Amino acid sequence: MEEAAMQQRPMRRLVSALRCLLPSVVLPLLIPLFIPVLLVMLWLAERSHGPSSAPPHPTTSRHGWAALRPKPSERLLVFAVHPDDELVGAGAYLAAARGPTLIVYLTRGEASYARRLEVSHGSHPRSARERLGRQRTKEARLGLGHLNRRSERPARTLVLPFPDRDLERLLPDAPTAWQPESASRFYGMARRIVAQFRPDVVLLPLVYDRHPDHRAAGALLSLAALGTRARTYGYLVHWPLWPIPGGYTPRLALRPPRALLGSGLTWYRVPITPSERRSLLYALYEHRSQFGLGAPYLLAFLRANGLLAAVSPLGEGVTIYEPSGVAVSLRGRTLVVRVGRRQIAATLRAIVLYPKRRYEALKVTVAKAPLARGVGHLALPPLPRDTPALIFIQGLDRLGQPRWSTSPRLLLPTAGTPGVPRGNARG
């Protein structure tokens, strides 16, 4: 035993010597190697996924974007996919709201870090998700308490029973099987909430969000809010390498990603006062399950202003540049699609999703067109007039498999766009 211990002592001494050399020798050598990598990441964030030929957005100028602040008595409806999304994406507008406010949580966020809870507590996956869902719901209630102190009318909350990480199946272009019954149920519930609350302003996830649940929820919620008297704005939470830099930088302005400047969105900056920012900071601190490595990301949204984008249908003759490099424009009842060299496709397919039977169900119709020299003309099928619709454009290879898909766009058929008489709108 003593001989074995004597043999292990040199190895222990070597390990302890390496531990001493690591912070003093190895790390100083690695830091200069990380600086070029960081500069390349910042450059990619500035030009991430955006077509180089995209024109500057008309609202961008030396004066910045138009300011947007809530009115004292307006009714505000906020849709959040997960608890804390309302603070991260729409916190500046929410902190300044003084009128009746309703926050609808589509899920309880039970899929976030559920695996970590399962491993640390040694519990069943379902019990870990349930525990995390209850914790995040409690954190949302505590966080809103800091904002309610500033308002005479505390914000009300509503939690819907949709599962986390499963909302992407609500759209027909999902990589998994589409669930039309769940999509119709989701749309009908959102439509009833909007009709009963009668909001003046609706805030919802932006369809360009890179989180699949945010993208699906934003598309169907935009479909439900379009056609009402409410003004609808979208907020962005997930985008590659955005916002940069991370951490708490209250003096910096929050700007949209460069790749979204030509996407047809009208951006608005939401000024925020120091006291409102402080309340938002305290509210975010209540979401302790999301802090840790995610703290710099969450705090990066507490800037000198918030950011919202107006949600509006596709306009006649307006060219929209998708972040993937696809340009889309509407001419009459034809969609003109221009595809970049990086987007490989032989055929274009348009998936149109619209409500029928007095908004009781969602229906899908499909149109196809060949792609020649990077340009395709998609003739849209007849749609019920004055009924909002969602359009997804996909590129198919020679075997008919989808290779890429654009973000869902809203379409409101009127006298100048494809439609059928109102008497034929019933399905």
pLDDT tens digits for 123-152? 556 777 888 899 999 999 999 999 988 777
Structure tokens at 339: 């595809």
Query: Which segments of 303-416 does DSSP mark as H helices, in order?
Result: none
pLDDT at 318 over 50: yes
Least confident of 38-52, 97-111, 273-287, 298-312: 38-52
Instruction: Decide the pairing of beta strands 319-321 and 327-331.
Output: antiparallel
Q: Which CATH architecture has domain 66-310?
A: 3-Layer(aba) Sandwich (3.40)
Other Cβ atoms within 10 Å of 56 Cβ, number = 10
What residues pair up with 103 in beta bridges, in sequence order?
78, 157
Answer whether 328's CB lies under 8 Å from 319's CB: yes
State the Cα–Cα distance between residues 49 and 258, nearest whole angstrom. Answer: 9
Is this structure's pTM higher than 0.75? yes
- pLDDT of 182 over the 70 cut: yes
CB 413 within 8 A of CB 387: yes
Are β-strands 66-67 and 76-80 bridged in parallel, bridged antiparallel, or unpaired?
unpaired
Angle between helices 125-148 and 85-96 (to 10 degrees): 10
Domain ranges of the chain: 66-310, 319-424
Give the pair of three-digit tokens for residue 186. Answer: 């989701």
Average pLDDT over residues 324-334: 87
What integer is the mean pLDDT of 316-344?
85
CB 396 within 8 A of CB 403: yes
User: What residue has token string 């500033």?
Assistant: 150
Single-letter code of the amino acid located at 387: T
pLDDT class for 58, splitting at 50, 70, 90?
very low
**Is the fold of 66-310 the same as that of 319-424?**
no
For residue 237, the one-letter residue type is: V
Domain 319-424 is found in CATH 3.75.10.20: no
Distance between CA atoms of residues 133 and 241, nearest Å: 27
95 contacts 150 by C-beta, under 8 angstroms = yes
Angle (CA) 74-409-231 rounded to 5° is 10
Q: How far apart are CA 317 and CA 369, in angstroms?
A: 20
Bridge partners of 153, per DSSP, are: none
> Of 45-49, 184-188, 345-349, 399-403, which range is least confident?
45-49
**Sequence letter at residue 214:** H
Q: What is the largest CA-CA distance in the chain?
A: 96
